[in-house]
Amino acid sequence: MHDFQYKDNELYCEDVPISAIAKDVETPFYLYSHNTLLNHFNVFDTAFSSIKHLVCFSVKANSNIAVLKTFINQGGGVDIVSGGELFRALMAGAEPRKIVYSGVGKKIDEIEFALQTDILMFNIESTQELEVIDDIAGEIGTRARISFRINPDIDPKTHPYISTGLKKHKFGINKDKSLEKYIYAKRLKNIDIIGVDCHIGSQITDLTPFIDTLERIRELISELQKEGIGISHIDLGGGLGITYDEETPPHPNIYAQEVIKQISDLNCTLILEPGRVIAGNAGILVTKVLYTKENEEKNFVIVDAAMNDLARPALYGSYHGIQPVKLEEKGQFMADLVGPICESGDFLARDRDMPQFERGDLAAIMSAGAYGFTMSSNYNSRLRVSEVMVTGDNFHIIREREEYDDLIKGENIPQFLS
């Protein structure tokens, strides 16, 4: 459920009409419901209340510090994949011992930053990475808590670009070779082994891949115990999907029941890294119609949002619902909803039956709270948009729209060109 609903033919976010926000905030802008973010987090967290667990929101899904603070205030942690995300998490007030560092390419300065911060653990993706972390921990005079990210070679049956658990992917360590990696790590002077990690993909709508993954994790933990390697944390990653169109993902309660069945006897703390399932349907992208046009083949609705603002349709062919901010009796037509960028791939919807929008109308691009702003860019030197959060009958700008000076920040014309 979410808090974007029509009242008297007008789309509201909680108790605020979206058209009223658009009068004060230049379009396009991202709009988040604080109540939806809060409810989604608490439903997910409560589903696992019968076991020791930590919900670490995936910062890559939505990195705004106000969004992160919403979950941190509920006792949540964060899953990060860069030094920048670590910085954001700390600025939002995250507890270091509730921070998990994932990702295949951790740089030396990022590792140093994380070690000095004393994060909960690194999810290790390669032997070389392990050795680098061991060396840096020794230089700093500390110890690094780690888990290995295991690649179980399980197909999550999602989009190939967001599937991460097969042998051919860059992520993780082959499950069949993981035991020897753990034995090697046990001999290193500055490493404390505490966990097993696995993340098989994103926007998964079937529980079977998760269950198959846990079965393989259990096998590994049993092998580790025989080698005298104790495991206190199991990181299952994220990946639970949401409804964009006609998907029917399992409710977090059902997901939790199946996971708990698999691990309740292991006496480990379960770490979960949800992102999309918490934030996806808690946000929308609000855009204004600039022009409409038609050619011999089709109709076009040209809006002021573009692929640089929301990359998912162009990148993945992803579906986002298109809703009018005001319901009016204008009829429907088949059209492409496109942006101003000079690329044929600049579309937010293709061949979609939608309201017959007119110049000046506002449209809501639904389910844009995850992998929306975080994937945006300045392509075509377009300004990155505002982010707004509604709570009850108030709204707050949680990121200012960029200005032209921001586009050239850090750039210089060398003297030889003057």
In the chain, what are the domains?
A: 4-32+280-407 (2.40.37.10), 34-276 (3.20.20.10)
Residue of 202, 139, 145, 196 whose CA lies nearest to 173? 196
Q: Omega before 28 cis (within 30°)?
A: yes
Neighbours of 375 (CB within 10 A): 16
The owner of tokens 């030094």 is 83
Q: Is the dihedral of CA 312, 317, 321, 325 positive or negative?
A: positive
The pLDDT value recorded for residue 157 is 53
> Which residues are catalytic, by number?
342
Q: Could you read off the pLDDT of 221-259 as tens digits, one per residue?
A: 999 999 999 999 999 988 888 889 888 888 999 999 989
* Eight-class DSSP state of 246: S
What is d(CA 143, CA 135) in angstroms, rounded to the nearest whole number?
Answer: 10
Strand partners, 335: 299, 352
The pLDDT value recorded for residue 163 is 39
Q: What H or E segment, with its residue span, contains residue 269?
A: strand 269-272
CB half-sphere exposure, 337, CA atoms < 13 A? 33
What is d(CA 155, CA 377) in angstroms, rounded to the nearest whole number?
Answer: 31
3-class secondary structure, 124 = strand
What is d(CA 19, CA 9) in angstroms, rounded to the nearest whole number?
Answer: 12
Q: What is the pLDDT along the chain (418 residues), one digit of tens a residue?
A: 689 999 999 999 999 999 999 999 999 999 999 999 999 999 999 999 999 999 999 999 999 999 999 999 999 999 999 999 999 999 999 999 999 999 999 999 999 999 999 999 999 999 999 999 999 999 999 999 999 998 876 655 543 433 343 444 445 687 778 899 999 999 999 999 999 998 776 677 778 888 888 888 888 999 999 999 999 999 998 888 888 988 888 899 999 998 999 899 999 999 999 999 999 999 999 999 999 999 878 999 999 999 999 999 999 899 999 999 999 988 999 999 999 999 999 999 999 999 999 999 999 999 999 999 999 999 999 999 999 999 999 999 999 999 999 999 999 999 999 8
The pLDDT value recorded for residue 71 is 98
What is d(CA 78, CA 94) in angstroms, rounded to the nearest whole number?
Answer: 7
What is d(CA 184, CA 404) in angstroms, rounded to the nearest whole number?
Answer: 52
What is d(CA 35, CA 14) in angstroms, rounded to the nearest whole number?
Answer: 8
